[in-house]
Amino acid sequence: MKKVKVYSTPACPFCSMVKRFLKEHGIEFEDINVQEDFEAAQEMIRISGQTGVPVIEIDGEVIIGFDEPRLKKVLGIK
């Protein structure tokens, strides 16, 4: 099983879309609230170069934003 992390904030609509997409496809993920966790926010910036959310990390591969086609490809979803 792939290790999936979602760097997000509670008010972010695209973050909610990513999490709903993952749940609908039965993909377990770690939800990291970068609004409350400064160290996690710094880690997200380090791996992605981005300050905006969502940032998704799947087995070390970084996806910025709700990029459904890329998520499907990386996760092997048809």
CA distance 19 to 56: 10
For residues 9 and 53, the answer to whether their CB atoms sit within 8 Å is yes
pLDDT for 47: 97
For residues 55 and 63, the answer to whether their CB atoms sit within 8 Å is yes
Domains of the chain with bracketed CATH: 4-72 (3.40.30.10)
The pTM for the full model equals 0.95
**pLDDT tens digits, 27-78:** 999 999 999 999 999 999 999 999 999 999 999 999 999 999 999 999 999 8
Three-state DSSP class for 6?
A: strand
